Amino acid sequence: MTMHFISGAFHPGLNTTVRRGLEWFQKGLLPGDTLTLCVCPRRDDHTPIGEAKVAFVMAARIETIPNELMAYEHEPSCRTKEGLLDAMRKVLGDVRPDEVVTVIGFERE
Ligand SMILES: [Zn+2]
């Protein structure tokens, strides 16, 4: 499966990304699966940058994501709940703190 990112900021080891809704659960993404990472800030210029192995797939509400986990967010500006909400709102419009999301943990290969 290919996962698209607006920001190509990744760090060594575990990275996380937060996606609205349960779409990635419904796609059947599971730990151990391989993801192709694609960076496409404008959503029409797709640049696959490599593969990653899925570490975990977790349903949460934004406000219930453990703060300890926020430190692993791939995008530095999204490592606080406020920063994450701001970033999601820029792309998705209104996003509430109690909104259901899927947190995906992955490691670059
Ligand atoms: Zn893409």
In-domain check, residue 77 = yes
Provide the pLDDT for residue 84: 97
Q: How many domains in the chain?
A: 1
In-domain check, residue 45 = no
Beta bridge partners of 51: 36
In-domain check, residue 75 = yes
Query: Which residue segment(s) compose the domain that 25 sits in?
Result: 9-32+52-108
In-domain check, residue 88 = yes
Spacing, Cα 47 to ligand 1 middle (Å): 6
Distance CA(76)–CA(71), nearest Å, equals 8
In-domain check, residue 2 = no
Spacing, Cα 23 to ligand 1 middle (Å): 16
In-domain check, residue 43 = no
Spacing, Cα 27 to ligand 1 middle (Å): 17
In-domain check, residue 1 = no
Q: What is this structure's pTM?
A: 0.94
Provide the pLDDT for residue 40: 95
Spacing, Cα 2 to ligand 1 middle (Å): 8
Provide the pLDDT for residue 58: 97
